[in-house]
Amino acid sequence: MRMNWPRVITLVALGFGVLACRENITAPAQCPDFCPPERITVVDTILSGIVTGDSSFRGYAVAEDAPVFQLVSEGSVVETRGITRFRPFAEFSVSGGDTLVSVDSIRVTVDVLRRDTMVQDLEVVLYRIPATVDSATTYADLDPYFQDSTRLTTFAVDDSLTGSLEIDFPASLYPGIGPDSTQATIGWALRAPAETFLDLTTGESGQFPLIARHITVLSAIGDTVSTLIGGEFADFDTFVARSGAPLADSLLVVGGVPSARTILRFNLPARIRDSSDILKATLVLIPSSPAAAASGDGGTLRALAVTRDVGQKSPRGEVINFVPGSGAVAVLGGATDTVFLDVTNIMATWTADSILPTTLFLSAAPEAGRMFELRFFSSRTVDAPLLSLSYVPPFLERR
Amino acid sequence: MVGRWVVIVAAVVTLPPPAVAQTSVYSVLGLGYPGRAIGVRTRAMGGGLAALDPGSALNPGAVAAYRQLSASATSTSSFRDYEVDDISATGLLDTRFAYASLGGPFGATPFAFGLTFGTYLDRTYDVVDAGDVIISGDTVPYNEQISSDGAVIDLRGAVAWQALSTLRIGAAIHILSGTTENEFFRDFADSALAPLRREDRVSFNGVGGSVGVMWDAKPYLRLGASARFNGSMRVKLTEDVEFGRTDLPREFSGGVFFAPVPDLRVASTVIWRSWSRSRSGLAASTTLNAFDTFEVGNGLEILGITGFPLRLGFRWAQLPYSPTAEQPREINLSFGTGIGLASGRTTIEFALERVMRDGGGAKERAWLVSFELRVTP
C-alpha cells in the first residue's frame, strides 16, 4: 500500500498538537545547587530603640461605665467596695379590698460573672449608704457607712454558685424603705478566708442588678398573703479601690481603675516600612513591677491600631484582620515575666498602607472593670520596649 | 486541495502557546539555559548547518543565500526527566514557540535581509522545595514553590551582500530583550503565620552585533564564519529599578558544508562563546561557576532514497553554568525529515532529538520533537 505522507504528517502534527496543550514543568528543587538565584530572605531581628515616643494617660474608661464591677476581698492590696444605687420604688398599689400589712424584707439580685473557685466560704456584706454617692466618691468616703451599724446583712455565698446572687435582708434594717416611695443605695464588700474576688454585672452589661420587696397583704376575704413585688433596676453602679498608684513618667501604665492606656509611637526603618512582608512582630515589654490584680485573677493586654495619631485622643480601631492569638495576651496577677504581645497584623497594615501612623495603643480588657494594672519600663529607661520582628524585605536576594 | 488542508492543520497545531523558552534543569543556573536560534532542518542535522543556513540566526553572511522570500515558525515539545543527587523528576512536559524567521532578497539586487526571533536564554522553571527558617527564635518548617516564566529573546535583523558569485558578507544587529514573571509562594507549617506570596517581573535589555561571511570554495564545498559581540545586559525589576548589568559572551563560529555527491550533504559547525564573562554580573555570594563553551554540531542529509530527505545529526556542547567545578555538557542525537506541499511553496520540517545533559551534579534526559512550517509565497 502506498503511504500517504501528507496525511501521516498531519496526524503526527495533530498528535503533538494535542500534547502541546498540556504542560508540566513543576519539579522538585535540589537546593542550593540547582535552585533559582532569587530567593525569599527572612530577616529575624530584635529592634531596640524603635519606640521613639511613649506615654500613658489615665481616664479612658471609668468604673461606672464598665460592664462589670469587681469586688476584691477585704484585706487585699487592691481591696474594693461596690456601690449600687437603685431607682426609686414606685408607690404601693394594692388591689381593691386588700390591705398592706407589712414590708417584710428586701431582696437584692445580681449576676456573678466570674469567681475564683479555689477560694471558698465567701461572704458578701451589704451596707446601707447614702443616695448622694456619685462618681467622685472614694473608698475613704465610704468608711463611715461600712460599719456594723449600717450593715444590712452578711450573705454566705454558696461554694458552687455560678449564677445569680439573691440576698435578702429585713426591711427594718433599711428604715427608709417602706410603704412610701424611696430609694435604696447599697454598699458591697467581700469577705473571705483568703484574698479573692467576685466579678458582678452592672447595668452597662444589660444584666441590671435588681431590688425588690417582700410584703404581706391581708386580702378582702381575710387571708394573709406574702408576695415579692416592685423590682427596680440599678441606675448607678460602680466600685472604688482602696489605693491607686499615680502615673510615673518613666513608666508605662495599662489598665487600673479608672483605666490607663499607653500610646507607643514607632520609628520603623524605611527598609521595613516600604513593602516588606511582616511574618511575625512581637512587642517585648519589660514589667517594672508585678502585674497588679486581685488574687487569682488577671487580665488581657491588647494592642489597638489607630487610623490617625492625635495623641491621647486618637481614635482607636480594632485589630484589622484579627486572628486568634494576635494582638492580645493574657497576664496573670503577680506575674513579673516579660510580656510578649503579638502585633503582627497591626504592623502588616503599616507596611501595606504608608499613610497609617505607626502608632498603637496598649489597653487592658475589660477596661475599668477589674483591678488589673500593668506597668512597664518606658523608652526613657534602659529596659525600653523592644520589637522582635521577622520580615521579608521587598527585594529578593540574588544568590 | 488535500495539501492545503494539511498546511492549515499543521499550522494550527504547531503554533503552541506564545512562550519562547525551552526548559531544562540548568535553566535555574546563572543567566539561564542558552537557546538555539536555528531552524528545524538544522536541528535535525545536529546544528551542523548553523553557520551556513540563511534561516538560522548564527551567521548573517548566510542571509545572502536567500533566493526568495521565506517565512518560518517553529515549535518544540520537550519530554524530560532529570536527577540531581537523590532527587529525580520524571514526566516533565512543555511546548514552546521556539524560533521564527523571515528573510529574502531585496528584489533583483545582490542584497538580502533576514529577521529572526529566538530564545537567547531560557529562564523558565517551576520548582518546589522545603526547608525551615528561624522566626522569632523558633524553627518553622515551610514548603515553597518558585516559578519563573519567560526568556531573553534575541531579535536579529541582518543584511547580507552577495559580493561575488562565491562570496557573501553580512552584518546584523541583535536586540536582546525579555521579561520573566517570577512568583514565590511559601507556606509555613505554623498556621499562625500567613502564607507568603511575592511576585515580581524582571526585565532584560541589551544589544549586540554580528558579522559573517560565507564562501563557496568549490561547487561542493561551502565555508562560513561569523563573529558576534554583545554589550552588557541590563537587568531591571518591575519598577525600573536596575539591579545589575551582566557582560554577555563574545561568539565565534565556523562551519563547513560538503556535498561529495548530489544526494549526500555533510555539514559541521563549531561555536565558541565566552560565557565566563557573565560571571561578573552574578551575585558575589553565589558559588556558581561560569565557563566558556565549545559546541560542535555535525549533520548528514541524504536525498533520493525515500523521496524525502533523511537527516541525521550529532551535537556535543558545553553548558555555561555549574554549581560545581565540573562543566556540564550535552549531547544531541537527532533525526529528521521534511515534506514539501502546495507545489513546494510550503514545507513542513520535522526533527526528533534525544538529548543527554550531564554535569555539575545533574543528569537530564529529554526527547525533543520539533516542527517547522515554512512558507514561500
For residues A282 and A300, what is the distance between their CA atoms, to the nearest angstrom? 16
**Residue environment code for A247-271, b if the CB has 16+ CB neighbours within 10 A, otherwise e:** eeeebbbbbbbbbbbbbbbbebeee
> Which comes out higher in pLDDT, residue A366 or B118?
B118
Give the pLDDT score at A354: 84
Residue A316 DSSP label? B
**pLDDT tens digits for A243-285?**
766 667 789 999 988 889 999 999 998 888 887 889 999 999 9
**C-alpha B163: how far from its chain's center?**
30
Same domain, A220 and A298: no
Determine how many CB atoms are found less than 10 A away from the CB of residue A282.
Answer: 21
Environment class of B373 (CB within 10 Å of its CB; exposed 0-12, middle 13-18, buried 19+):
buried
The answer to whether position A28 is within a domain reads: no
The answer to whether position A199 is within a domain reads: yes
- Does residue B29 belong to the interface with chain A, where contact is any CB pair within 8 Å? yes
- Shortest Cα distance, chain A CAs vs residue B10, angstroms: 6
Q: How many CA atoms lie within 13 A of A231 on its CB side?
A: 9
Which chain B residue shows the shortest CA-CA distance from A276? B198
For residues B257 and B225, what is the distance between their CA atoms, to the nearest angstrom? 12
Give the pLDDT score at B205: 93
For residues A276 and A257, what is the distance between their CA atoms, to the nearest angstrom? 39
For residues A150 and A186, what is the distance between their CA atoms, to the nearest angstrom? 10
Same domain, A137 and A255: no
Give the pLDDT score at B255: 97
Interface test with chain A among B13, B80, B235, B236, by most A beta carbons within 10 Å = B13
Same domain, A261 and A393: yes
Give the pLDDT score at A31: 79
- Does residue B108 belong to the interface with chain A, where contact is any CB pair within 8 Å? no
Q: Do the chains contact at A34 and B362, CB–CB below 8 Å? A: yes
Nearest residue to A112 (alpha-carbon basis) of A151, A67, A164, A187: A164
* B-chain residues near A31 (CB < 8 A): 129, 131
Which chain B residue shows the shortest CA-CA distance from A6? B6
For residues A156 and A134, what is the distance between their CA atoms, to the nearest angstrom? 28
Same domain, A152 and A208: yes
Interface test with chain B among A33, A345, A392, by most B beta carbons within 10 Å = A33
Of chain B residues 36-65, which have a CB less than 8 A from chain A?
none
For residues A293 and B172, what is the distance between their CA atoms, to the nearest angstrom? 83
For residues B18 and B22, what is the distance between their CA atoms, to the nearest angstrom? 12
Give the pLDDT score at B326: 95
Which chain B residue shows the shortest CA-CA distance from A18? B13
Give the pLDDT score at A398: 56
Q: How many CA atoms lie within 13 A of B270 on its CB side?
A: 4
- When divided into structural domains, chain A yields a total of 2
Q: Looking at this predicted complex, what is its ipTM? A: 0.77
**How confident is the model over A211-233, as a mean pLDDT?**
84
- Does residue B101 belong to the interface with chain A, where contact is any CB pair within 8 Å? no
The answer to whether position A339 is within a domain reads: yes
For residues B156 and A83, what is the distance between their CA atoms, to the nearest angstrom? 90
Which chain B residue shows the shortest CA-CA distance from A390? B135
- Shortest Cα distance, chain B CAs vs residue A27, angstroms: 5
Which among A13, A35, A326 has the least Cβ separation from residue B129?
A35
According to DSSP H, which parts of chain A are helical?
5-20, 270-273, 344-352
The answer to whether position A75 is within a domain reads: no
Same domain, A139 and A118: yes
How does pLDDT run along chain B (377 residues), one tens digit per residue?
444 444 444 444 444 444 444 478 898 888 889 999 999 999 999 999 999 999 999 999 999 999 999 999 998 999 999 998 888 888 888 887 779 999 999 988 999 999 999 999 988 888 888 889 988 888 999 998 888 888 899 999 999 999 999 999 999 999 999 998 888 899 999 888 888 888 888 899 999 999 999 999 999 999 999 999 999 998 887 666 677 788 999 999 999 999 999 899 999 999 999 999 998 877 665 678 999 999 999 999 999 887 789 999 999 999 999 999 999 999 999 999 998 887 778 899 999 999 999 999 999 999 999 999 999 88
For residues A381 and B342, what is the distance between their CA atoms, to the nearest angstrom? 89
- Shortest Cα distance, chain A CAs vs residue B222, angstroms: 32
Does residue A320 register a pLDDT over 70?
Answer: no
Domain that holds residue A101: 80-241
Q: Do the chains contact at B28 and A6, CB–CB below 8 Å? A: no
Same domain, A93 and A57: no
Bridge partner list, B200: B182
Which chain B residue shows the shortest CA-CA distance from A325? B192
Specify the DSSP element, H or E, that contains B44.
helix B40-44
Q: Do the chains contact at B369 and A16, CB–CB below 8 Å? A: yes
For residues B337 and A8, what is the distance between their CA atoms, to the nearest angstrom? 13
Of chain B residues 195-254, which have a CB less than 8 A from chain A?
196, 198, 200, 237, 241, 243-244
The answer to whether position A314 is within a domain reads: yes
Three cell numbers written together for A97: 379590698
Give the pLDDT score at A8: 64
* A-chain residues near B137 (CB < 8 A): 44, 388
Same domain, A144 and A111: yes
Q: Do the chains contact at A36 and B196, CB–CB below 8 Å? A: no
Q: Do the chains contact at A16 and B198, CB–CB below 8 Å? A: no
Which among B75, B87, B193 has the least Cβ separation from residue A30?
B87
Which among A13, A38, A44 has the least Cβ separation from residue B134?
A44
Domains of chain B, earliest start first: 24-120+151-178+202-375 (2.40.160.60)
| CATH code where residue A305 lies | 2.60.120
Q: Do the chains contact at A37 and B95, CB–CB below 8 Å? A: no
The answer to whether position A13 is within a domain reads: no
- Does residue B310 belong to the interface with chain A, where contact is any CB pair within 8 Å? no
Same domain, A271 and A320: yes
Domain C-terminal end among A224, A241, A258? A241
Same domain, A110 and A209: yes
Which chain A residue shows the shortest CA-CA distance from B369? A16
The answer to whether position A387 is within a domain reads: yes
Average pLDDT, chain A: 85
Q: Do the chains contact at B10 and A40, CB–CB below 8 Å? A: no
Give the pLDDT score at A381: 92
Same domain, A133 and A205: yes
CB B242 within 8 A of CB B234: yes
Same domain, A233 and A249: no
Q: How many CA atoms lie within 13 A of B30 on its CB side?
A: 28
Give the pLDDT score at A3: 56
* A-chain residues near B93 (CB < 8 A): 19, 22-25
The answer to whether position A168 is within a domain reads: yes
Domain C-terminal end among A206, A241, A276? A241
- Contacts with A67 (C-beta within 8 Å, 6 or more apart), sequence order: A201, A202, A204, A205, A206, A366, A369
- Does residue B362 belong to the interface with chain A, where contact is any CB pair within 8 Å? yes
> Which comes out higher in pLDDT, residue B328 or A135?
B328
Q: Do the chains contact at B93 and A36, CB–CB below 8 Å? A: no
Interface test with chain B among A7, A8, A9, by most B beta carbons within 10 Å = A9
Domain C-terminal end among A225, A241, A257? A241
Determine how many CB atoms are found less than 10 A away from the CB of residue A175.
Answer: 9
**How confident is the model over A216-238, as a mean pLDDT?**
84
Three cell numbers written together for A273: 516600612
Which chain B residue shows the shortest CA-CA distance from A388? B136
For residues A369 and A62, what is the distance between their CA atoms, to the nearest angstrom? 8
Q: Do the chains contact at A6 and B6, CB–CB below 8 Å? A: yes
Residue B35 DSSP label? P
Same domain, A252 and A224: no
